[in-house]
Amino acid sequence: MAKLFLLRHLKSQWNEDNRFAGWVDNPLAKESASEAKIIAQKLAGEKIDVVYTSPLIRNEETVLRIFDNMPERYPLFFHLDGGKMQKWGNFVDISQNDVPVYVSENLNERYYGKLQGLDKDEVIKKYGQKEIHMERRGFLERPPKGESLKDVYKRAVPFFKRYVPKDLEKGKNVLIVASHNSLRAIIKYVESIPDKDIDKLEITFGSLISYEFKNNSFVKN
């Protein structure tokens, strides 16, 4: 039975600094190396056949650090552009130890617009806890010049539906390594969470969520 694993990236340096990252690239924090080993141990009993992630460094670096701790499993990165796969390299074939990692901007974090780079506590003091919470977690609300979760849903979920079920139907175990709001959008779809309840969903850094794929539906473990 195929399984779907969802993993929020490990803590980045801007997360450590309490800044809104959004689409800004920044590396993982130093503490993330030991956490990657723990995640690899959790996945040790599962054969990951396919990985999907975004081009943000914190997501790709999370993938690399996890596979650093998985002996004889080697990630190969490919870019998905408009449904057409473009190889990042010149590969004749892929061995059974190689794991294809498909990269798409559709799995990027929510674009935080004018909030990107700002200190979260300072923004909350200026605009209020409730307003900023809904701009970060609500479905329709959006930060100034940024994306709502609905906007993220409209790019992340069609991408998910286009690729992931096909892999699962073939019996492949799929790992998605992505950012908080792209994963929240996917979970909203998979678990049929109503718009009014989605602001309650939180996923901590490095959290691993798993589902079994049964009869074309998802059962949470």
Q: What is the pLDDT of residue 83?
A: 52
Most confident range, picked from 35-49, 66-80, 190-204: 190-204
Cα atoms in the Cβ-side hemisphere of radius 13 Å centred on 152:
34
Task: Give the 3-state secondary structure percentages of the chain, helix then strand then coil, rounded to 5.
Answer: 40, 20, 40
Note if the pTM is more than 0.85. yes
Whether residue 114 has pLDDT greater than 60:
yes
Sequence-distant (6+) residues with CB within 8 A of 218 are 4, 190, 191, 211, 212
Query: Distance between CA atoms of 173 and 93, rounded to whole angstroms?
Result: 20
Domain segments of the chain: what residues?
A: 3-220
What pLDDT, on a 0 to 100 scale, did the predictor assign at position 79?
84
Of the candidate ranges 19-23, 74-78, 120-124, 127-131, the one whose mean pLDDT is the lowest: 74-78
What count of other Cβ atoms lies within 10 Å of the Cβ of residue 74? 11
Annotated catalytic residues are: 9, 109
Do residues 208 and 3 lie in contact, with contact meaning Cβ atoms separated by under 8 Å? no
**pLDDT of 167 higher than 60:** yes
- Helix residue spans in the chain (DSSP H): 13-16, 32-43, 57-68, 120-127, 129-137, 149-169, 180-190
- Output phi, psi for 18, to 5 deg: 65, 40
Residue 94 or residue 4, greater confidence: 4
Report the number of secondary-structure helices (H) and strands (E) in the chain.
Answer: 7, 8
Q: Domain 3-220 is in which class? A: alpha beta
Map tokens 């409209």 to a residue.
154
Instruction: Give the pair of three-digit tokens for residue 34.
Output: 């030991």
C-alpha Rg value of the chain to the nearest Å: 17
pLDDT in tens, 60-86: 999 999 999 998 889 989 888 665 555
